[in-house]
Structure 1
Amino acid sequence: MNEHTEDIFDEKKIKRAIKKGKIKSIITIVFVSLLVFVVLNIANFAISVYFSQKAFKQWDAYVRLTTPNGYISETVDSRGFLGGMSNYKISKDMKIKSLVVEQKQNQYGLIPSILVSRGSGGSIGVTGEDWQFSYKENGWREMMFFHPSVAYKKYKNDEELIQSMEGEKIYEVALSFDKPYKQSELPIMQLPQMTWFWVNTYSNSQLDTLQQEAQEHDWSVTFIRENEALGFSVRDTYTGATDLAHEYDKFLKLLKTSISSEHKQAYNTMKNINIDDVEILGVVVYGTKDEIVEIMKDPIIKASSLGGVIDNY
């Protein structure tokens, strides 16, 4: 047996070769595992960020549409696998300052986190004796709206309530008109700084449903709640010559972006309607007691509903 044959069957060399092969295999497995781990984490992070940003845009549009002068002021996201959960605060601009009114959560992603929520109701009133109010988490009453094309059994009027309140306050009040008005037809020629306009986004079938509810149900529950009325704001003092086109265009984009299917339905109703033909059903105004009461005395005001109240400083 020659020298080369002896080397081939050298037991020590074979063990060393096997050991060296095992080490290489382990290193390869560890490297590949680390590489896969890093790639998966980067992919998971990228997917989570994408869906987080998408969810924020959708929910921010929803909040801006369902809360007059409301917006998401803060978000905190917790990310999981291909998704996560977003905790966010809703603030409301009250003309001289903004305040947090609610805190909400939503899930996002391909595999959203499990959301468990507990709470109790926020309605006050007894059917047939008082309006069925709803309240925000900060204690503010949610405003009521009354569509001018619907005949209600009773209308809300908070003028006496506002008159009875003391102190220097800024009041948020929803005012429903006696009929739909195009901007060129609106008899009110000036409104305080920061006015929210309630837009007629309702289809004929929706109006039929509202009218049927008003006829068949008790007056205490037949009204349009704050989160069901859609509109947009003008931050400066409104006059009859104010151009609403820019705000209306942003309003349409919010309808298209919102996560709500009802908002997308409203977008389909409104997308081909020019601002000059848009019907205004009411407004939400912000001002002192004297300013608000003066507006409420206008004959076109059919109903009034108090929302938030803050100290005037």
Structure 2
Amino acid sequence: MSKENDFFPKDLEFEGLVKKAKRRSTLKMVIISSVISAIVLVGLYSAANLVMKIKMEKETDLDSAWSEVKGANVEERGGIFHYSITSATAKTKLVKVVGGVPIPWGEREKVFSIFGSSQIVSDNGAFALGNSDDARIPMYYEGERIVEFFHPKVDYAQLLDERLLLNEIEDSRVVEMALSFDDSYSIEQINEVFEEQVAWYWVDTFSEEQIERDTNFNKDENFPDTTVYGFEAYGFSHNPNAENYSASEFIANLEKVKEDGGDYQEDAERIITTLTNQGEIPLEPQSLRISGVIVTGKPSELVSLLDEPIIRGATLGATTDLY
């Protein structure tokens, strides 16, 4: 049949209108789909960003609580946050206060992602410097010595006592020294002797199993004694204006970490179990036992400690100019 004889002749104008309507409908659907997709993506990003911020706030809070528990004479001094599209970085400055002088002690840096992960950014870390036949091969961090402690119930092949080094240091400098005791004492007993110079208390968190393990390890002549370095020690700072405040904060931080979880929960639970003797002793400042302290000041202010009979060992830590 010829085109002239088609029963329904084509209406070119109508076909054009139909095609135009289809194009408009397709464009409209594309625009609507794009808008919906954009809204969904923005919503997902906002939700992920909010979750990241909540996670960051919780983890940095737990990190701060744990830093109040672990690390000899180390304090936080301010933190900053850097944000990008998909991540954020939290940086916290750390210092040691030695004789009233702050010494930079590195920083804690952690990166958080909107994808739910967090990662600690490593730093240079501590390192040892010395010879194998030296009486002590000290560990260094930020160019300063790291203190070591000796537990009163652990046997050591050699106990270090560096108190005599105070006589070799000029009085224009201030020093940090870790003193380890022959027994564990109450806070009050320690303050009677060291309150003028004490900066930090080393809390006895050793279980009987750990005491036995370290003693047996130290019997092996092929390895150096296992001591407690400052960054491994648990304790709290001295507050001259409120003797029990820092001890109470130490306990509160332990309980907070135990309840809130995170990377430190298992350690907090173990410490609380030891401090309470499996729950038989109430966890309070009066029940804490102190196995050592950090004292700071000018050498002339610390030299009086040379004759204290309860001192079992002493190691020199960070030093700096007074002015």
Of residues 288, 305, 321, the one that matches 1:295 is: 305
Q: Equivalents in 2 of 1:190, 1:116: separation in Å?
A: 38
- AA at the equivalent of 1:307: G
Equivalent position of 1:172 in the other structure: 176
CA spacing shift, 1:117–1:32, aligned 2, 3 Å: same
Equivalent position of 1:199 in the other structure: 203
Q: Equivalents in 1 of 2:110, 2:60: separation in Å?
A: 9
Deviation, structure 1 residue 243 = 3.7
- AA at the equivalent of 1:43: A
Q: Equivalents in 2 of 1:266, 1:195: separation in Å?
A: 22
1:29 aligned onto 2:33: yes
Equivalent position of 1:284 in the other structure: 294
Q: Equivalents in 1 of 2:203, 2:107: separation in Å?
A: 26
Equivalent position of 2:321 in the other structure: 311
* SS of residue matched to 1:192: coil
1:125 aligned onto 2:130: yes
Q: Deviations over 1:172-201 (max 9, x none)?
A: 111111111123544834522552111111
* SS of residue matched to 1:46: helix
Of residues 161, 164, 167, the one that matches 1:160 is: 164
* SS of residue matched to 2:93: strand
Equivalent position of 1:3 in the other structure: none
Of residues 269, 276, 280, the one that matches 2:274 is: 269
Q: Equivalents in 1 of 2:73, 2:124: separation in Å?
A: 25
Q: Equivalents in 2 of 1:107, 1:211: separation in Å?
A: 39
Equivalent position of 2:279 in the other structure: none
Equivalent position of 2:20 in the other structure: 16
Q: Equivalents in 2 of 1:72, 1:213: separation in Å?
A: 34
Deviates more, 1:116-125 or 1:193-202: 116-125
Deviation, structure 1 residue 32 = 0.8
Equivalent position of 2:254 in the other structure: 255
Deviation, structure 1 residue 167 = 4.3
Q: Deviations over 1:230-281 (max 9, x none)?
A: 11112327xxxx742x222211233342733323311333353332222110
CA spacing shift, 1:292–1:154, aligned 2, 3 Å: same
Asked whether the equivalents of residues 153 and 219 of structure 1 are also in contact (C-alpha less than 8 Å), the reply is: no
Q: TM-score, normalised by structure 2?
A: 0.81
Asked whether the equivalents of residues 207 and 274 of structure 2 are also in contact (C-alpha less than 8 Å), the reply is: yes
Q: Deviations over 1:131-181 (max 9, x none)?
A: 232111x21111010001112121111122221112411111111111111
CA spacing shift, 1:168–1:224, aligned 2, 3 Å: same
Equivalent position of 2:7 in the other structure: none
Asked whether the equivalents of residues 60 and 71 of structure 1 are also in contact (C-alpha less than 8 Å), the reply is: no
Equivalent position of 1:142 in the other structure: 146
Deviates more, 1:302-311 or 1:192-201: 192-201
CA spacing shift, 1:122–1:135, aligned 2, 3 Å: same
**Identical-residue share of aligned pairs (%):** 23
Asked whether the equivalents of residues 199 and 231 of structure 1 are also in contact (C-alpha less than 8 Å), the reply is: yes
Structure 2, gaps ≥5 residues long: 1-9, 277-281
Deviation, structure 1 residue 54 = 1.7
Q: Equivalents in 2 of 1:32, 1:134: separation in Å?
A: 59
Q: Equivalents in 1 of 2:197, 2:309: separation in Å?
A: 21
- AA at the equivalent of 1:292: L
Asked whether the equivalents of residues 152 and 219 of structure 1 are also in contact (C-alpha less than 8 Å), the reply is: no
The root-mean-square deviation of aligned C-alpha atoms, in Å, is 3.0
* Equivalent residues in 2 for 1:8-87, closer than 5 Å: 10-73=14-77, 74-77=79-82, 81=86, 85-87=89-91
Structure 1, gaps ≥5 residues long: 1-5
Q: Equivalents in 1 of 2:80, 2:97: separation in Å?
A: 17
Q: Equivalents in 1 of 2:134, 2:99: separation in Å?
A: 34
CA spacing shift, 1:196–1:222, aligned 2, 3 Å: same
Q: Equivalents in 2 of 1:176, 1:279: separation in Å?
A: 13
Q: TM-score, normalised by structure 1?
A: 0.83
CA spacing shift, 1:33–1:72, aligned 2, 3 Å: farther
Deviation, structure 1 residue 47 = 1.2
